[in-house]
Chains A and B, each alone.
Chain A
Amino acid sequence: MLRHLARRAAGFAVTFLLISVLVFCMMEIVPGDPASAMLGTSATPETLAALRAQMGLDAPAVVRYLRWLGGLASGNLGISYTYGVPVGSLILERLAVTLPLTGLAVLLAIGIALPLGVTAASRPGGVADGAATLYAQAGIAVPNFWIGLLLIMTVALGLGLLPAGGFPGWGDPVAALRALLLPALALAIPQSAVLTRVTRASVVEVMNEDFVRTARAKGASVSRALWRHAVPNALVPVITMLGLQISFLIGGAVLVENVFTLPGMGRLAWQALAQRDLIVIQNVVMVFATVVIVVNLGVDLLYTVVDPRLRRRA
């Protein structure tokens, strides 16, 4: 077990290092720098050079990379060029929005997809199945930001039930949750559409397995055969899909964050890229990478929970 953990940790370190090199090189290739973003049409060769020197951009690439890596190792992520504040606190502020938003969206997606997918699979070709298929197709076809706009127009402006956008901060948890509800729903609907399809397909497949037939032959009711025997065995592909979706949601919510003007990680990455705030981008990507690695680890662990056979191998 210890050896297994050590191997995993070494794997992390190598992945981490590789990603850091990749991100740094990419930022080197991207045209433009924070100095040109700051000066715009007022840029003169003289002020551009002065600003680059002030930002430490005139040092050779290798030196800058090692400086950054050294900072990372000591927990100092550097100072944002545009905001002038430590990048660490900037990212923490954003994670306080993005992580709860993602969590809420995933819960909503599961809450919609699992009952819908299982019900659809219980009688393939039935009314519920038709409805679920329609929902799944519509949900995949419609982009999440558009659902967001629709929700703003109906729920926020039309009914006045929830705020149209913005984030009041966690000082008032109820207001904060209310602000996150609509964007989470906008994110959850397309995700739940995919998840519904995967759940349905997986359950239908398992329902045709011999052991389910045996369970039915032994006198188990349809719903018992479904929930007790088929669903637990159908969860592995659902969890795999969920893992992929969480990784996507952490960074891919930019458009929804824009529509609801939420200060999340996606918008931070996007703004930092527009301003060429290199130090912010590099660290944001590292955070994304960490989240993906952690989520993958979580998915691996979940496999062993739902499938006892895997426990022996680990």
Chain B
Amino acid sequence: MVSRTRRHLLTGALLAALLVPGLAVAAPRTDLVLGMPVEPPGLDPTSAAPTVIGQVVWQNVFEGLTRVDRDGKVQPQLAKSWAVSPDGLTYTFALQAGVKFHNGEAFDAATAKFALDAIRAPGSVNPQKALYAVIADVKAPDPATLVLTLSKPSGNLLFWLGLPAAVMVEPKSRDGLKAIPVGTGPFRFASWRKGDRVELTRSPDHWDSARKVHLDKVTFRFIGDPQAAAAALRAGDVDAFPLLPAPELYAAFQKDKAFTAEPGLTEMKVVAGMNNAAKPFGDKRVRQALMMAVDRKLLVEGAYSGYGAAIGSHYTPNDPGYRDLTGVYPYDPKKAKALLAEAGYAKGLTFTFKSPQMAYASRTAEILQAMFAEVGVTMTIVPTEFPAKWVQEVMRDRSFDMTVIAHAEPMDIAIYSNDPYYFGYKNPAFNAVVTEAAQATDEAARLKAYGEAQQILADDVPALFLFVLPKLSVWKAKLTGFWKNEPVPSNDLTEVRWTE
């Protein structure tokens, strides 16, 4: 009697053992909580510049005619293919059919024309407006065809069209996109508790059956304090932090088997811009001397715990056609001193440095101050609040000697040809080369011209080229599909999934 009961129990237990774990294993999680250090100011990437906007909505909620993939390559998206005329002035796009915005509106050539015209309109506040200025005319001859006519050739146009600032939007929702983003992407906007989190849910009818997303629900949580960010990861409140705000806390995550932490690179080029239009930085020798006073390796060590890559020009290793030019003016305090003397500053040099409050910037400022002191240069640090005060004083009024900022836009070397721009750098040879690069439709010629542009900047040093900020990402070891590098500031979650 006893033994029979026991047998029954055993059978039951075995059955349960077979069933229960089976059920548990069969369903990996489909939700994700992702941490970000800064809350985006609105969710419309077509009306404001901060990269954190794209880091929530780009590729998740909004899509473009093209997209930039994790390797920085242009891929088709809402435009499934295109043809470029031999003179490089006419682009004919064949658009995807059956695409709907999250509010039910259809996407077709007329919508695409609306979105591109909105960027180019006179009152437009699109942060990258200048990139699309080459588009002279947009036509929608039929719902599936879009024709762009350019005023001059633009080898990068397909790349520019893949950026967050050029995502496709439609007229009915456009004015409210800041609060309620409506796109064609695989996730749709669900809610935004201001100051805390944004929630997205999977769109049930996304057009792209080839790119099936694995997550049903994504929560972006905004955690500004670095210690709190690390605590949230450890407590399991957050599953991933694609850009951990504290490099000094990163090594602990690299050692922890519960997390994946592989440092990658962003597009954020940290450069110490100088006012080339004024004394003493109008003299090329002064700029070159200061470049030689900087030990970039030590700087990266001190400012970002050794993560990040030293650069010798305004270009990152992620970018196509990158040249390592850190050897053009390598660290050499003796030569720096000699060159300063040659420029008439044998007795030293004094100037101010407007330093934004971000940790990387103020640390860079302090280290530069010490390195410059070694060559007899006295630099006074003036803390300058970013963005509001800094943009006004440095960008608009150009009242500064030297400053430091991370330039976030990918492939933006042409800013040194902008006039006016805060560097005050004027070099017709450089302008000619970047124009050639921008207009070349042949890939090899384009990259060659970009190479020359990098070289000219490395020689002229309009700004001290310091380092590229790393992408210090941390995610739970059971997650896969994140981008290691960030050729475009983003958190593309379309391939992210739980492995068990």
B and A form one assembly: yes
- Given the known inter-chain contacts A48-B396, A54-B123, A259-B228, please indicate yes or no for A40 contacting B178, CB distance below 8 A: no
> Which of A50, A258, A264, A274 is in CB contact (< 8 Å) with B125?
A50
Taking the closest CB of chain B, its distance from the CB of A187, in whole angstroms, is 16
- Given the known inter-chain contacts A42-B49, A47-B127, A268-B195, please indicate yes or no for A84 contacting B178, CB distance below 8 A: yes
Q: Tell whether A216 is near chain B: CB-to-CB under 8 Å.
A: no
Taking the closest CB of chain A, its distance from the CB of B357, in whole angstroms, is 9
Q: Tell whether B129 is near chain A: CB-to-CB under 8 Å.
A: yes
Taking the closest CB of chain A, its distance from the CB of B92, in whole angstroms, is 29
Q: Tell whether A82 is near chain B: CB-to-CB under 8 Å.
A: yes
Q: In the complex, what distance in Å separates the CA atom of A93 from the CA atom of B197?
A: 13
| Residues of chain A lying within 8 A (CB to CB) of residue B445 | none
Ranked nearest first, the 7 interchain pairs of A and B with the lowest CB-CB distance are A32-B388, A263-B195, A84-B178, A36-B391, A82-B41, A164-B235, A263-B196
Q: A54-B125, A149-B227, A157-B234 are in contact. List 14 more A-B contacts (CB 8 A).
A: A32-B389, A37-B41, A37-B387, A39-B48, A39-B125, A40-B391, A93-B193, A152-B227, A165-B232, A166-B223, A264-B195, A268-B194, A275-B41, A276-B388
B223 touches A90 (CB 8 A): no
Q: Tell whether A310 is near chain B: CB-to-CB under 8 Å.
A: no
Pull 20 A–B residue pairs with CB atoms less than 8 Å apart, ordered by A.
A30-B388, A32-B388, A37-B41, A37-B391, A41-B405, A41-B407, A41-B408, A46-B129, A47-B125, A50-B122, A84-B178, A84-B179, A85-B179, A90-B194, A156-B231, A165-B228, A166-B223, A167-B196, A261-B196, A271-B195
| Residues of chain A lying within 8 A (CB to CB) of residue B47 | 38
Q: In the complex, what distance in Å separates the CA atom of A153 from the CA atom of B234?
A: 10
- B166-214 residues with Cβ-Cβ distance < 8 A to A are 176-179, 193-197
Q: Tell whether A33 is near chain B: CB-to-CB under 8 Å.
A: yes
By beta carbon, the residue of chain A nearest B222 is A261
- Given the known inter-chain contacts A54-B123, A271-B39, please indicate yes or no for A260 contacting B228, CB distance below 8 A: yes
Q: In the complex, what distance in Å separates the CA atom of A258 from the CA atom of B39?
A: 12
Q: Tell whether B443 is near chain A: CB-to-CB under 8 Å.
A: no
> Which of B127, B237, B390, B407 is in CB contact (< 8 Å) with A165?
B237
Q: Tell whether B278 is near chain A: CB-to-CB under 8 Å.
A: no
B388 touches A36 (CB 8 A): yes
Q: Tell whether B409 is near chain A: CB-to-CB under 8 Å.
A: yes
- Given the known inter-chain contacts A83-B41, A260-B228, please indicate yes or no for A39 contacting B49, CB distance below 8 A: yes
Taking the closest CB of chain A, its distance from the CB of B369, in whole angstroms, is 23
Q: Tell whether A294 is near chain B: CB-to-CB under 8 Å.
A: no
> Which of A31, A149, A164 is in CB contact (< 8 Å) with B393?
A31
Q: Tell whether B256 is near chain A: CB-to-CB under 8 Å.
A: no
B193 touches A32 (CB 8 A): no
Q: In the complex, what distance in Å separates the CA atom of A271 from the CA atom of B234?
A: 26
By beta carbon, the residue of chain B nearest A40 is B49
Looking at chain B, what size class is its interface with the partner chain? 35 or more
| Residues of chain A lying within 8 A (CB to CB) of residue B125 | 38-39, 47, 50-51, 54
Q: Tell whether A60 is near chain B: CB-to-CB under 8 Å.
A: no
| Residues of chain A lying within 8 A (CB to CB) of residue B177 | 84
Chain A interface residue count, CB cutoff 8 Å, equals 55
| Residues of chain A lying within 8 A (CB to CB) of residue B231 | 152-153, 156-157, 164-165
- A5-32 residues with Cβ-Cβ distance < 8 A to B are 30-32
B196 touches A41 (CB 8 A): no
Q: Tell whether A88 is near chain B: CB-to-CB under 8 Å.
A: no
Q: Tell whether B24 is near chain A: CB-to-CB under 8 Å.
A: no
Q: In the complex, what distance in Å separates the CA atom of A195 from the CA atom of B392?
A: 45
- B217-238 residues with Cβ-Cβ distance < 8 A to A are 221-225, 227-228, 231-232, 234-235, 237
Q: In the complex, what distance in Å separates the CA atom of A261 from the CA atom of B387?
A: 22
Taking the closest CB of chain A, its distance from the CB of B273, in whole angstroms, is 10
Which of A90, A166, A258 neighbours the largest number of chain B CB atoms within 10 Å of its CB?
A166
| Residues of chain B lying within 8 A (CB to CB) of residue A271 | 39, 195
- Given the known inter-chain contacts A37-B41, A85-B179, please indicate yes or no for A261 contacting B193, CB distance below 8 A: no
Q: Tell whether B362 is near chain A: CB-to-CB under 8 Å.
A: no
A50 touches B237 (CB 8 A): no
- Given the known inter-chain contacts A31-B393, A50-B124, please indicate yes or no for A37 contacting B196, CB distance below 8 A: no
Q: In the complex, what distance in Å separates the CA atom of A110 from the CA atom of B39?
A: 35
Q: In the complex, what distance in Å separates the CA atom of A258 from the CA atom of B235?
A: 17
Q: Tell whether B130 is near chain A: CB-to-CB under 8 Å.
A: yes
Q: Tell whether A94 is near chain B: CB-to-CB under 8 Å.
A: yes
| Residues of chain B lying within 8 A (CB to CB) of residue A276 | 388
Which of B124, B177, B387 neighbours the largest number of chain A CB atoms within 10 Å of its CB?
B387
Q: Tell whether A267 is near chain B: CB-to-CB under 8 Å.
A: yes
Q: In the complex, what distance in Å separates the CA atom of A152 from the CA atom of B226?
A: 13
- Given the known inter-chain contacts A94-B195, A261-B223, A267-B195, please indicate yes or no for A42 contacting B123, CB distance below 8 A: no
